[in-house]
Amino acid sequence: MKFEDYPISPIVKGNLLKMGFKRPTDIQYKAMKPIMAGEDVLAIAQTGTGKTAAFAIPIVSYLTIEPSKDVRCLVMIPTRELAVQIAQVFKQLAFNTKVKVEAIHGGVEQEGQIAQLTRGVNVLIATPGRMFDLIHQKHINLHQTEFLVLDEADRMLDLGFLKDIQDVKRFLPRKHQTLFFSATINDTIKKLAYSLVTNAIRIEISPKDRVSRNITHSVAYIEMDDKRFFLERLVKENPEAKILVFVRTKVRAERVAAAMQRVQLNTLTMHGDKDQTDRQAVLDAFRAGTERVLIATDVSARGIDIPDVDIVVNYDLPDVAENYVHRVGRTGRGMRKGRAVSFCSKEEKPVLEEIESFLTKPIEVATIDRGEYQATIDFSEDTQSSDLKSLLKEIEELEQRNKHKKKKKTRS
């Protein structure tokens, strides 16, 4: 079945063609009809399956029928980056219609968002903190809202937004449609979902496969202090690849970037110490291919649509096994193939076991013999000593730099 066969707005159909969408993905095929029929939906689908369009297409099509200035659809999401990304999809679908779309989130001044709300917004994509601030300031009125969409619901629970999700119902009309989307399902999520939806249509896409089949996985046993040499090698051996590297902490992201700089490899970094403008600039540069290596903490692992990522590197294994799925979900999206490469030190072996247990299958080991291992270190262009004093000094310098940046922001 093609999109042209669905009873949706002709303008939306035209916009879908411009976006290169001809046929629905599995989640779109299974979710769109019940959404258009007015049903509540509980959908479980892995990252990269087209969840956003699954709810955005029928909602935009419906809202073209009766234009208004009211907030008729509220999409609650966990992060700023996801808010911007989802707003972009809605805006592309709503192009040349009277449907007005706006994303609101923290990290930027309220004034611009308030001005847009005053002019009128039909689809509001919001992070909980900023949304409730503006509700209490009387800038957001949800009395005419017909759709409540909870996207990346499992991530919202991870970030402590349970009460916010429950509280938003108080501001909505009694009769509204709830669409609950999550990459994973457990007892807590199930309990929350069924407290919010009414006789929901339940949809699960590939529940037995935690990750996309388009991704090949491998793990290499590499000691913590040697990981930078192997990242250098991987980047240089894949000169055309777009590579997303995940590390555990903000300081570590900057340390790894500094190590790559020493061997003449330019990288971008993304983590919680960067303000929203910087984070968006980094994402834009990586999406555009201006820089091909992005080093990030898990703030970037969920729901961020970065096209054409060829390789995801777990430089540090994630603290939570489930986050492995969200990290590697940045590659192998749609019909594209992708690679997930993990570096595992001795200390991280228990975490690797948890990840394999979560995936219900082992990850293929990339065997590195002693000669190859030593050669990777010997042929590195990084001549800086890896002894403990040098590493501690490097960390101290980065922390001082971050403190200085924060002081400058405070003054300004």
pLDDT score of 408: 57
Q: What is the 3-state secondary structure (H, E, C) of the chain?
A: CCHHHCCCCHHHHHHHHHCCCCCCCHHHHHHHHHHHCCCCEEEEECCCCCHHHHHHHHHHHHHCCCCCCCCCEEEECCCHHHHHHHHHHHHHHCCCCCCCEEEECCCCCCHHHHHHHHHCCCEEEECHHHHHHHHHCCCCCCCCCCEEEECCHHHHHHCCCHHHHHHHHHHCCCCCEEEEEECCCCHHHHHHHHHHCCCCEEEEECCCCCCCCCEEEEEEECCHHHHHHHHHHHHHHCCCCCEEEECCCHHHHHHHHHHHHHCCCCCEEECCCCCHHHHHHHHHHHHHCCCCEEEECHHHCCCCCCCCCCEEEECCCCCCCHHHHHHHCCCCCCCCCEEEEEEECHHHHHHHHHHHHHHCCCCEECCCCHHHHHHHHHCCCCCCCCCHHHHHHHHHHHHHHHHHHHHHHHHC
Query: Same domain, yes or no, for 273 and 360?
Result: yes
Query: Same domain, yes or no, for 227 and 165?
Result: no
Single-letter amino acid, residue 198: T
Query: Same domain, yes or no, for 246 and 148?
Result: no
pLDDT tens track for 112-165: 999 999 999 999 999 999 999 999 999 999 999 999 999 988 888 877 888 898
Query: Same domain, yes or no, for 17 and 84?
Result: yes
Q: How many CB atoms lie within 10 A of CB 225?
A: 13
Q: What is the CA radius of gyration of the chain?
A: 22
Q: Which of residues 205, 226, 258 is at a domain's end?
A: 205
Furthest-apart CA atoms within the chain: distance in Å: 69
pLDDT score of 79: 86
pLDDT score of 388: 47
Name the domain count of the chain: 2
Domain with 360 in it: 215-402
Query: Same domain, yes or no, for 234 and 253?
Result: yes
Q: Which is nearest to 47 in space by CA: 244, 315, 197, 235?
A: 244
CATH of the domain at 306: 3.40.50.300
Kindly report the backbone phi and psi dihedral angles of residue 220, in degrees, each rounded to the nearest multiple of 5, phi listed first: -120, 135
pLDDT score of 276: 73
pLDDT score of 128: 93
Q: What is the mean pLDDT of the chain?
A: 88
Structural domain includes residue 123: yes
Query: Same domain, yes or no, for 251 and 125?
Result: no
Query: Same domain, yes or no, for 188 and 250?
Result: no
pTM assigned to the model: 0.69
pLDDT score of 411: 53
Asked if residues 125 and 103 have their Cβ atoms less than 8 Å apart, the reply is: yes
Structural domain includes residue 410: no
Q: Per-residue pLDDT for the chain (412 aa), expressed as one digit of tens each? A: 789 889 999 999 999 999 988 899 899 999 999 999 999 999 988 766 788 999 999 999 999 988 788 999 999 998 888 898 899 999 999 999 999 999 999 888 999 999 999 999 999 999 999 999 999 999 999 999 999 999 988 888 877 888 898 899 999 999 999 999 987 788 888 888 888 998 999 998 865 566 777 899 999 999 999 999 999 999 999 999 999 999 999 999 999 999 999 999 999 998 877 877 888 888 889 988 899 999 999 876 555 667 789 999 999 999 888 889 888 988 887 678 899 999 999 999 999 999 999 888 899 999 999 999 999 999 898 866 444 455 555 666 676 776 666 655 555 4
The percent of residues above 90 in pLDDT, for the chain, comes to 60
Query: Same domain, yes or no, for 123 and 66?
Result: yes
pLDDT tens track for 280-289: 888 889 988 8
Structural domain includes residue 35: yes
Query: Same domain, yes or no, for 24 and 95?
Result: yes
Query: Same domain, yes or no, for 201 and 219?
Result: no
Pairing assessment for the beta strands 268-270 and 243-246 based on DSSP bridges: unpaired
Structural domain includes residue 296: yes
Q: Which is nearest to 85 in space by CA: 45, 59, 43, 56?
A: 56
Structural domain includes residue 104: yes
Structural domain includes residue 345: yes
Query: Same domain, yes or no, for 259 and 390?
Result: yes
Q: Which of residues 146, 177, 205 is at a domain's end?
A: 205
Asked if residues 80 and 127 have their Cβ atoms less than 8 Å apart, the reply is: yes
Structural domain includes residue 210: no
